[in-house]
Amino acid sequence: MESFNLTRVRELLPKQLPRMPTWPAAQDTDATSDSADAKENEGSSNVIALPEPSPKDGGPKSNLDLIGECDSFPYYHTNPKLFLAHINTYYALKVPEYPDADLGYLLPSVAEAFRGLPDWRVDDEERSLTLTSGSTEEERSRIVAATAEAMRATDHFKILRGWRDELYAVYGPKRELLFSIERAASALFGIVTYGCHMMAYTKKDGELKLWVPRRAATKQTYGGMLDNTVAGGIATGESPFECIVREAGEEASLPEDLVRKDAKAVGTVTYFHIRDHRAGGETRLLQPEVQYVYDIELPEDVEPKPSDDEVEAFELMTIDETKVALRNGEFKPNCAVVLLDFFVRHGILTSDDEGYIEIVARLHRRLEFPTL
């Protein structure tokens, strides 16, 4: 295999990269609405007109609204036309070893940036982007890293301005590690990402209260919104539990020995998110995600405290206060979903609540891509 030439990649990157497609505005932005039928634009681009992803404006949000903002990729059984409009718009990310497996979905404008690059093949007929070179995880990771670095250097994709120097894993159908990718580039490729979230709570006189942080207003993504007590992305080679231990110290100053002893793994939450303006960078990028979820009951004398510049402060909130903040749309979308999962597991959200069956089902979406 020829050695990978970063200089050549930079030379071959289109000097005038295509802009993100201009999509007609839709009056109904609900991803499952029958009134948002997809249709092709006139002309040769075959770009599908899809509603702009955006949070619900005005009025309190229901639990189903919160689910819909996070798990926003349409379902075939709910709206086949809209589902197929989405599927037929994107380019599937592939490797030659698994020609029938889609590893992620890219917007046409993102796939176009790879046209003519070494080690990549854009196929318009089957709407795919294939990493054609590299037979090992190390070789594939090196190619992906060099390509992402070159694209970062062009400053075309705003999302890459949030470069993190953190690697996310991409797995194949046999759960093997195919390659790693820079975290900031993951949404460009639309691959499955993995994270861990933990809610810390206390019980006093029978009342359950939650430790809720507010994200720093300066954060590139979802600045100023409420979050779960501890949350973070799982790096390549890191286990979910070691991730939650690390994040608990970095974000909430929680003692490592306490977290190792008392944090309880309580399952996963999965969803397929379409990024809106609150995420920073380009909108419409796809984010299928798996979140490993943990609970921890803290003693009354242990209080989470910010230890970096990502969190402004922690507040001990009652369940009623948390519900009001959820209805007001104050929580980051995936954190709202993790909270709903917490409510289900602790008997706060029950079959008496509207949409209970749909909520529980959509907390555990089966993703269209290989997962670990």
pLDDT band at 16 (very low <50, low <70, confident <90, very high): low
CATH number, domain of 164, equals 3.30.750.160
Name the burial class of residue 99, with classes exposed (0-12), middle (13-18) and buried (19+) by CB atoms within 10 angstroms of its CB. exposed
% the chain with pLDDT above 70? 87
pLDDT of residue 42: 35
**Whether residue 226 sits in one domain with residue 169:** no
Averaged over 332-346, what is the pLDDT? 98
Name the residue among 202, 203, 198 with its Cα closest to residue 213. Answer: 198
**Whether residue 127 sits in one domain with residue 250:** no
pLDDT of residue 58: 72
Domain boundary among 189, 208, 228: 189
Domain boundary among 136, 156, 189: 189
Could you give the number of structural domains in the chain? 2
pLDDT of residue 29: 35
Domain residue limits at 198: 193-362
pLDDT of residue 37: 32
Residue 48 covered by a domain: no
pTM: 0.88
**Whether residue 240 sits in one domain with residue 152:** no
CATH number, domain of 328, equals 3.90.79.10
Q: Is 334 helix (H, G, I), strand (E, B) or coil?
A: helix
**Whether residue 208 sits in one domain with residue 171:** no
pLDDT at 14 over 50: yes
pLDDT of residue 50: 76
pLDDT at 256 over 80: yes
pLDDT of residue 28: 37
To which H or E segment does residue 246 belong?
A: helix 240-252
pLDDT at 175 over 70: yes
Q: In what order do the strands lie in the sheet with 128-131?
A: 104-106, 91-94, 128-131, 120-123
Are the CB atoms for 196 and 246 separated by under 8 Å? no
- Whole-number Å distance between alpha carbons of 300 and 85: 52
Are the CB atoms for 184 and 304 separated by under 8 Å? no
End-to-end CA distance of the chain: 29
**Whether residue 305 sits in one domain with residue 165:** no
Question: Whole-number mean pLDDT of the chain?
Answer: 89
pLDDT band at 13 (very low <50, low <70, confident <90, very high): low
Minimum mean pLDDT among 44-48, 138-142, 154-158, 336-340: which range?
44-48
Q: Is 330 helix (H, G, I), strand (E, B) or coil?
A: coil
pLDDT one-digit tens code per residue, 25-65 = 333 333 333 322 333 333 334 444 677 888 888 779 999 99
Name the residue among 323, 214, 198 with its Cα closest to residue 269. Answer: 198
For the chain, how big is the Rg over CA atoms in Å?
Answer: 21
Residue 346 covered by a domain: yes
**Whether residue 139 sits in one domain with residue 12:** yes
pLDDT band at 147 (very low <50, low <70, confident <90, very high): very high
% the chain with pLDDT above 90? 80
Averaged over 8-33, what is the pLDDT? 45
Averaged over 266-279, what is the pLDDT? 96
Q: Is 259 helix (H, G, I), strand (E, B) or coil?
A: helix
pLDDT at 355 over 70: yes
Q: Are strands 104-106 and 39-40 parallel, antiparallel or unpaired?
A: unpaired
Q: What is the dihedral of CA 142, 147, 148, 152, to 10 degrees?
A: 140
Q: Is 243 helix (H, G, I), strand (E, B) or coil?
A: helix
Q: Are strands 120-123 and 39-40 parallel, antiparallel or unpaired?
A: unpaired
pLDDT at 331 over 90: yes
Residue 25 covered by a domain: no
Minimum mean pLDDT among 92-101, 162-171, 307-316: which range?
307-316
Residue 43 covered by a domain: no
* CA distances, 145 to each of 139, 167, 348 (Å): 10, 10, 45
**Whether residue 217 sits in one domain with residue 353:** yes
- Whole-number Å distance between alpha carbons of 73 and 26: 16
Q: Is 109 helix (H, G, I), strand (E, B) or coil?
A: helix
